Amino acid sequence: MADAPEHAPKAAAPTGPVEPAPPADAAIPAFITALQNGVSGSVAQLSLYLGDWTVVVPVSHLLQASQFLHDNAGCAFDYLSDLTAVDWPPRAEGRFDVIYMLYSTRHRHRVRVKVKVAENTPVPSVTSIWPAANWLEREVYDMFGVNFSGHPDRRRILMPEDWQGYPQRKDYPLEGPGELLMENPIDWLKLRQAREEADIE
């Protein structure tokens, strides 16, 4: 990634998070090795940043890997601390990172599990493994429009039921859509473009 100039008018949008691979001398925790051996092909990428371990899991292996992390005695990740998403619109391999912060109340260790998905790819819901995921997945659906399959109650949670668009996406304007978008999105886009042009002039 080339460095953008200090005050460039419009820097190119970043295309993904920085995921530094662990240094060669870093001791890989036992729960990651267990996951690698227990569910083959589940660890696509491994990274260590500021002491936090992140495992990137292919979306096809997510349920299996989650179940393993929950059930295996050496992992015992019984507590889902948080579930969230990050939007990287220009990224080729899919714009969303869905991130699971796991914690083990028995061994007191943490790991982040991450899946990279495209806009319309369904992500299997982990509510059957961690019931805590229910509302957290609803929030991610509400804010990003990530499609969770097998969720028992997939509705919006913070925004009104009839809301158009997904507020946390990077292409969603900060000022909100206003009344017009709710009624007529095309007119709204035209108006916005006209305003932007007026600003430049």
Partner 1 sequence: MFDTSELVINMGPQHPSTHGVLRVILRLDGEKVVDAEVVIGYLHRGIEKLSENRNWTQIVLLTDRMDYVAAATSNVGYCETVEKLLNVEVPRRAQYVRTILMELQRIASHCLWVGTHAMDIGAMTVFLYAFRERELILDLFEEFCGARLTYNSMRIGGLPQDIPPGWDKKVLAFCDIMDGKIDEYETLLTHNRIWLERTKGIGVISGPEAIGLGLCGPALRGSGVARDVRKDEPYSAYAEMDFDVPVGVQGDTYDRYLVRMEEFRQSLRIIRQATQGIPEGPIVGKVPRLIKPAAGETYHAIESPKGELGYFIVSDGKSTNPYRFRVRPPSFCNLQGLPRLVRGHLVADVVALIGSIDIVLGEVDR
17 binds partner 1 (CB under 8 A): yes
Tell which positions 36-75 bind partner 1, by CB under 8 A.
49-50, 52
Nearer to partner 1, 1 or 198 (CB): 1
Nearest alpha carbon to residue 125 among 36, 77, 42, 59: 59
Task: Return the axis-axis angle of helices 30-38 and 62-71, rounded to nearest 10°.
Answer: 130
Nearer to partner 1, 26 or 40 (CB): 26
Nearer to partner 1, 86 or 180 (CB): 86
Nearer to partner 1, 96 or 188 (CB): 96
Least distance from partner 1 to the Cβ atom of residue 196, Å: 17
123 binds partner 1 (CB under 8 A): no
Least distance from partner 1 to the Cβ atom of residue 61, Å: 22
Least distance from partner 1 to the Cβ atom of residue 40, Å: 27
Nearer to partner 1, 161 or 201 (CB): 161
Over the window 20 to 39, marking each residue x when it contacts partner 1 by CB under 8 A and - when it does not, the resulting string is x-------------------
| Residue-by-residue DSSP string for the chain | -PPPPTT-SSPPPP-S---PPPPTTSPPPHHHHHHHHHSTT--SEEEEETTEEEEE--GGGHHHHHHHHHH-TTT---EEEEEEEEE-TT-TT-SEEEEEEEE-TTT--EEEEEEEE-TT--EE--TTT-TTHHHHHHHHHHHH---EET-TT---SSS-TT--S-TTSTTS-TT--HHHHHH-HHHHHHHHHHHHHHHH-
Binding footprint of partner 1 on the chain (CB under 8 A): 1, 3-4, 11, 14, 17-18, 20, 49-50, 52, 78-82, 84, 86-87, 99, 101, 105, 108, 110, 112, 130-132, 134-136, 143, 156-160, 167-168, 172, 174
